[in-house]
Structures are given as C-alpha cells and as structure tokens.
C-alpha cells in the first residue's frame, strides 16, 4: 500500500507510518495536559486550598465517571465500524451520534436528581450545587466524543490532535479566568464546561454531520461489540473509583486533595494510552479488513512491546515521587509522594489494558478480557474495604496499583495468544533491568527545586541510552522512525 493517501497527499492511516504519525500528533496534543493540567492543578491547589481543591476533584471524579458512562458504550465500536466502512461512513456516524446525545441528556437529568443524595453520602453539603452545575457538561462532552470517534475511525488523527490541544488550552484559560473573578470552586467547574463547548464547536466544524438526516444503518448492529466493550470498560472504570471509595470510607477533603494531586502527577502514561489506542484500533481494523493480516500482526507485536518500555520511566517517577510533589505542589502536599510512587504503576497497568483491548477488538474478540477484569475488580473492592481504613490513601493506591497491573499484563498475555505471538520475555526482562537501574539512580541522587527537572531529564535520557545498548529497538523500528521524520520533512515541503 502506498504510504501517502491519494486525495490528501498525507500519510495514509492504513500504514504503520500513518499510525505512528497519528499517535505522535495525538500524544503531543494530549501532552499539553501536562503543562496546562499542572498549571491548573497548582493554581487551584494554591487558590482553593486542600479543602476546596478536594471538593473540585471529587465533583470532577463523579462527572468524569458519568461522562464516561455516556461515551464508552460506543467509543471503540464507533472507531471500528467507521474504519471498516471506509468512504461510506455517513450512516454509521449519524446513528452513533444520536445515541451519544440521548445518553448524554439522560445522564445529565439523572445527575441532577442524584446530586443531593451524593452530597449526603460524601458528607459535603456544598457538593449538591457543584454537581448540578457540572451536569451541564455531560451532553456537551457526549456529542463532542461522538465527533472525535468518527474522526478517529476515518483516520483523521491530526484533527483529533488539534481538538485535544484546543480543549487543554481553553480549560486552563477559562478556569483561571472564572476563579479569579471570584467564583471559587464553581468557577473551576464553569471553566471546565467552557472547554467542552470549545471542543464540541471545533469537532462539529470537522465532521459536518447531518444529524437529522435519514440513516440506513441500524443501531442494533452496534450492540454485538458495544456491550462487551462497555462491560470491560465499566470494570476498569470501577477500579478507578479509588478516589470515590477513599472519601466514602471516611477520608477528609484534605486527604482527598492529596490523593487527587498524586493522581494528577501519574497522568503521563495515560496520555500514551489516549494517543496510541485509537489509532492502533483504527489501523488494525482497516488492515484486517483489507486482508493484510501479517502487517497487522507486526504492528500488534510492536504495540505489545511498547508497554514494557514505560516501566523504567515509572520506576524513575517512583524514586523521585516526593521530590516531584514538593516541586509541583509545595510541602503542604508532601503526603501525596508515597501515593504517586504506587499510582504511577497503576497507570502503566491501565495502559497495558488499553493496548490489549485495541488488539482484541480489532480481532473480533472484544469481551475476552472480562474473564480477567470482573474477578480482579471485585477483589480490589474488597481490598479497598480493608486497606483504606488502616492505611488511608496509601492503602487505596496500593490496591489500585495491584489490580491495574494484574488486569493489564494479564490482558497482554491474552492478546499474545489470540494474535499467535509469543510473550516478549527478553524485552520484558531488559525493561525490568532498566527499571532497577533507573530507580537506584533516582534514589541515590537527591534533588530539590529546579534541579529535580534537570535530574528527571538526565535519567530519562540515560534510560533511552540503555534501551539502545540493550537492543530494545529493532532495526525495523529505527528505520520506521527515520522514515517518518523524512516523510514529515517532505510533507512540509509539499505545503
């Protein structure tokens, strides 16, 4: 297949280069959440204090879960069906968009009536008003997510990246604006809703969907994939309710603030999941639909190996966790350090789950990991009940990390079996060795202030050098990256 799409002159999404290009574009855009998210988090933590920041984090957790409930049902299903439909994607897009909107409105109404009971559960009376205001965000995000998944299925990865970048910048600007105007926690919520409106507006300009036109695509055709994928996502989402369970089992708003700070600092691996999983699913579905099974398997094997590459960086973060927390949030939030050291590995486990789910969905086995996720999530909730009353946030983080890693690497094993490929034990052992090296170097080099940034950069470069020395990147992968850089230069010259 040609590397370039005939109509656009751009990299074709049906190639490894196209997928890598899209992944990098989305990752760069999603990575904006690091500077913008950290600036926002630091601003809110210092401006609202631990109590106000904890209330906003708690309200955000509830709303994010509600929004996920509206969007996860048809998320990967939309990407897969749009990708397989190729140019005839309009009927599929119209059907799924209507379903997204209906789900968003229903969820917003449900949240409005549940706001008071939830506030009583959390023993925070102010939460009722915050939740009702935040409920306005749900239908906006729902339709925006429909548009984004349609773009991903069509292989429009760069447009997806621009939408993410716009939302991150809008969220930072609007939250600071409304909080500085004196709206406090409500201002942070208003800023988040404004960012969703920006995302929806841009996505509508790209998709130009005829929402009220007739469609020949039956909604029932989606359910065979949607139900098992949703159930699997639901299990993962329930596991990620650690903040919710922590508060429900008696933690103070300040303790929730510490835990939320640690969670925010563990974001980077999740950005890679958001960047890699949708292009991976779109590319593999397209290749398998065209009968190019061997090329799909080659890309799948590389995706599996890439999960292990994150382990040394997680170990580095764990070793410097207290230093990072002190640098970003100040000494008031130092109790978040040990929580970050655990939650960073939970995020790696969830990334492994995301990659495995993309591989299994593309191969028409979307519900296979349910046999693994259901029992582990149930055991995790039992673990929360015992660990949180005794160890607080550290107990919650420990259970979260254990459950996420079991599910993640267990799912990778399943994906290896379905795709008829061996578990890359050599690469896994090399990454464990690099992790021990990174953790030891981080602990033996104490730092504070801006020296922490220099330290992290130097150790990250040392990890990459160790990768090269240990042969973790194949010659084909190095050639693929060189080709991508060469083609990007050629695209710029073509205008």
Mean pLDDT, consecutive 10-residue segments, the chain of 495 residues? 42 55 67 76 83 86 85 79 75 84 92 91 87 94 90 81 88 93 91 94 85 67 75 79 81 82 81 72 75 78 86 93 89 89 92 87 79 87 89 90 91 86 85 93 90 92 90 70 51 44
CA dihedral 273, 277, 278, 280 (to 10 degrees): 150
CA dihedral 162, 168, 173, 177 (to 10 degrees): 130
Q: Give the pLDDT confidence score for residue 197 in this predicted structure.
A: 95
Q: What's the full length of the chain, in residues?
A: 495
Separation between Cα atoms, residue 34 and residue 147, nearest integer Å: 24
Q: Give the pLDDT confidence score for residue 265 in this predicted structure.
A: 85
Separation between Cα atoms, residue 215 and residue 230, nearest integer Å: 24
Q: Which of 331, 350, 329 is nearest to 407 (CA)?
A: 350
Is 153 in contact with 81 (CB distance < 8 Å)? Answer: yes
Q: Give the pLDDT confidence score for residue 285 in this predicted structure.
A: 76
Q: Give the pLDDT confidence score for residue 238 in this predicted structure.
A: 80
Separation between Cα atoms, residue 108 and residue 396, nearest integer Å: 29
DSSP string, 376-418: HHHHHHHHHHHHHHHHTHHHHHHHHHHHHHHHHHHHHHHHHHH
How many CA atoms does the CB half-sphere of 21 hold within 13 Å? Answer: 25
Q: Give the pLDDT confidence score for residue 240 in this predicted structure.
A: 77
Q: Give the pLDDT confidence score for residue 495 in this predicted structure.
A: 42
User: In DSSP terms, which residues pair with 4 in a beta bridge?
Assistant: 11
Q: Give the pLDDT confidence score for residue 393 in this predicted structure.
A: 87
Structure tokens at 224: 């065979």
Structure tokens at 17: 């280069």
Separation between Cα atoms, residue 125 and residue 145, nearest integer Å: 31
* Extents of the domains making up the chain: 1-12+248-495, 31-217
Is 116 in contact with 105 (CB distance < 8 Å)? Answer: no
Provide CB contacts within 8 A for 417, sequence distance 6+. Answer: none
Sign of the CA dihedral running 226, 229, 232, 235: negative
Q: Give the pLDDT confidence score for residue 4 in this predicted structure.
A: 43
Whether the pTM exceeds 0.75: the reply is: no
């Amino acid at each position: 297949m040609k590397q370039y799409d005939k109509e656009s002159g751009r990299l074709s999404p049906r190639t490894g280069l196209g997928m890598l290009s899209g992944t990098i574009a989305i990752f760069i855009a999603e990575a904006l959440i690091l500077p913008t998210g950290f600036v926002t988090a630091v601003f809110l933590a210092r401006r609202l204090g631990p109590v106000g920041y904890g209330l906003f984090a708690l309200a955000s957790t509830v709303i994010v879960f509600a929004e996920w409930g509206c969007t996860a049902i048809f998320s990967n299903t939309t990407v897969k069906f749009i990708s397989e439909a190729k140019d005839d994607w309009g009927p599929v897009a119209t059907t799924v968009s209507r379903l997204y909107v209906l789900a968003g409105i229903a969820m917003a109404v449900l949240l409005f009536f549940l706001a008071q009971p939830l506030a009583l559960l959390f023993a925070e009376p102010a939460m009722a008003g915050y939740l009702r205001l935040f409920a306005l965000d749900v239908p906006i995000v729902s339709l925006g997510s429909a548009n984004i998944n349609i773009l991903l299925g069509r292989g429009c990865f760069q447009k997806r990246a621009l939408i993410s970048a716009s939302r991150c910048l809008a969220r930072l600007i609007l939250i600071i604006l409304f909080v500085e105007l004196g709206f406090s926690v409500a201002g942070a919520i208003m800023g988040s809703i404004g960012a969703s409106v920006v995302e929806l507006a841009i996505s509508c300009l790209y998709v130009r969907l005829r929402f009220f036109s007739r469609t020949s695509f039956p909604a029932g055709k989606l359910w065979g994939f949607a139900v098992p994928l949703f159930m699997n996502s639901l299990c993962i989402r329930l596991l990620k309710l650690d903040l919710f369970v922590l508060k429900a089992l008696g933690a103070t708003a300040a303790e929730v603030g510490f835990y939320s700070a640690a969670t925010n600092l563990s974001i980077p691996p999740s950005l890679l999941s958001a960047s890699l999983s949708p292009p991976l699913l779109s590319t593999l579905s397209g290749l398998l639909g065209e009968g190019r099974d061997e090329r799909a398997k080659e890309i799948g094997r590389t995706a599996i190996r890439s999960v292990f590459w994150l382990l040394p960086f997680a170990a580095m973060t764990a070793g410097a966790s207290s230093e990072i927390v002190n640098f970003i949030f100040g000494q008031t939030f130092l109790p978040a350090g040990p929580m970050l050291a655990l939650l960073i590995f939970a995020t790696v486990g969830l990334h492994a789950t995301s990659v495995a789910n993309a591989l299994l969905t593309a191969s028409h086995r979307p519900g296979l990991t349910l046999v693994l996720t259901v029992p582990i999530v149930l055991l995790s909730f039992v673990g929360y009940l015992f660990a949180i009353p005794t160890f607080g946030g550290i107990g919650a983080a420990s259970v979260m990390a254990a459950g996420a890693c079991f599910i993640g690497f267990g799912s990778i094993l399943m994906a290896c079996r379905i795709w008829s490929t061996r578990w890359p034990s050599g690469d896994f052992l090399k990454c464990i060795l690099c992790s021990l090296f990174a953790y030891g170097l981080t602990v033996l080099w104490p730092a504070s202030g801006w020296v922490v940034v220099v330290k992290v950069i130097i150790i990250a470069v040392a990890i990459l050098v160790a990768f090269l020395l240990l042969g973790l990147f194949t010659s084909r992968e190095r050639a693929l990256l060189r080709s991508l850089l060469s083609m990007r230069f050629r695209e710029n010259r073509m205008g």
